[in-house]
Amino acid sequence: MASLDPLQSPTTAPSTSPDRDGLPGPVRREQIHRLIDERGFVQVRELRETFGVSGVTARADLDALETAGAVQRVHGGAVLARGSSGQPMIESSFEQALASSVIPKQQIGSLAAGLVSTGQSVILDVGSTTLAIARALVARQELTDVVIITNGLSIALELEPAIPRFTVIVTGGSLRPRQHSLVEPLASSVLSQVHADLAFIGCNGVDAEHGVTNINLPEAGTKKLMLAATTRSIIVADASKLGQVHLGQVGPLRSFDTLITDTAADSAALAPFREAGLAVLQPQHTPS
């Protein structure tokens, strides 16, 4: 697929634009979301010119993004959605996420690593929480003959000191610098050929009704591939992500076996997930 040119300013936008009629709607909306992330706003007429779509289609795309909570519609276009704090709801970089909620991530990482046994195969999704799992796995010196498959370059480097106790496989794919992750195209080149015992999958939101979701569509697509390549799928999410819903659907709760979270998640927040049939793990708690 040809790369998309960035939107030009209103004063320099061309009167004609490349024919983008063949671009799938979900891909087009992900590109629109990325542009709004980068610029803070976008106008309907710019989307018409850039993507070669009608005004009706451009407005429908923005409406869909607003419904998903990714943007806020304004006259003539859309801006970034704002949360209760008034700040734009945008994807944090890997480094930003790594610096936040350090203790909850360590708690989740330790619990998750405790589920892995010698001789098992494990899929580790990209993210700062799954990086904590990788660190906890490396620290378990008694753990051997474990195969770990990941699409996170930072996670692969974190696991490197454990070789040859661990075999580390990095998926193919296109590199997303913001998360140092590998996504489609070609991410399925490895994931379609393996079936792991466990998959630890991160997210930006987990909700009883809408399931597991992610801000970024390519990331969500790769997580879906992971779901299809494992026997047991485990959600890892700190308390701040409970009840949140984002643009890219990873899967319904019934696709997962267990939710691992931190001590900040109270019983009321966790009740809907238990009612949906998920086992819930927290520090100092036993599976529900």
Q: For tokens 């979270």, name the residue.
A: 261
Instruction: Locate 105 and state its tokens.
Output: 């991530």
Using a cut of 0.85, tell me whether the model's pTM lies above it. no
Least confident interval from 83-92, 143-152, 157-166, 274-283: 83-92
Find the Cα–Cα–Cα–Cα dihedral 161, 220, 253, 153, rounded to 10°.
0
Q: What pLDDT was estimated at residue 42?
A: 84
The partner residues of 51 in beta bridges, in order of sequence, read none
Task: Please say whether the beta carbons of 250 and 201 come within 8 A.
Answer: yes
Size of the chain, expressed as the number of residues it contains: 288
Of 182 and 41, the structure prediction assigns the larger pLDDT to: 182
Task: Please say whether the beta carbons of 221 and 196 come within 8 A.
Answer: no
Tell me the average pLDDT of the chain: 83
Q: Could you report the per-residue pLDDT of 204-237, keeping only the tens digit for each?
A: 899 999 999 988 888 899 999 999 999 999 999 9
Q: What is the distance between the alpha carbons of residues 70 and 78, in angstroms, rounded to a whole number?
A: 10
Answer yes or no: is pLDDT of 9 > 50: no
Q: What pLDDT was estimated at residue 166?
A: 98
Q: Are strands 279-281 and 211-214 parallel, antiparallel or unpaired?
A: unpaired
Answer yes or no: is pLDDT of 14 > 60: no
Of 17 and 236, the structure prediction assigns the larger pLDDT to: 236
Of 92 and 180, the structure prediction assigns the larger pLDDT to: 180
Q: What pLDDT was estimated at residue 200?
A: 98
Q: Which residues fall within 8 angstroms of residue 242, CB to CB, at 6 or more apart?
A: 206, 207, 261, 265, 269, 270, 273
Banded model confidence at residue 69, pLDDT cuts 50, 70, 90: confident
Q: Could you report the per-residue pLDDT of 184-202, keeping only the tens digit for each?
A: 888 888 999 999 999 999 9
Banded model confidence at residue 19, pLDDT cuts 50, 70, 90: very low
Q: What pLDDT was estimated at residue 175?
A: 86
Instruction: Give CA separation, 128 vs 77, 90, 96, 99, 102, in Å.
Output: 33, 16, 9, 9, 9
Return the closest-CA partner of residue 237 out of 271, 280, 275: 280
Q: Could you report the per-residue pLDDT of 21-49, keeping only the tens digit for each?
A: 568 888 899 888 888 876 777 889 889 98
Q: What pLDDT was estimated at residue 240?
A: 87
Q: Are strands 279-281 and 258-260 parallel, antiparallel or unpaired?
A: parallel
Q: Please, what is the angle between helix 55-67 and helix 25-39, to 10°? A: 70
Q: Which residues fall within 8 angstroms of residue 55, CB to CB, at 6 or more apart?
A: 44, 45, 48
Q: 218 preceded by cis ω (within 30°)?
A: no
Q: What is the distance between the alpha carbons of residues 210 and 212, in angstroms, rounded to a whole number?
A: 7
Task: Please say whether the beta carbons of 208 and 174 come within 8 A.
Answer: no
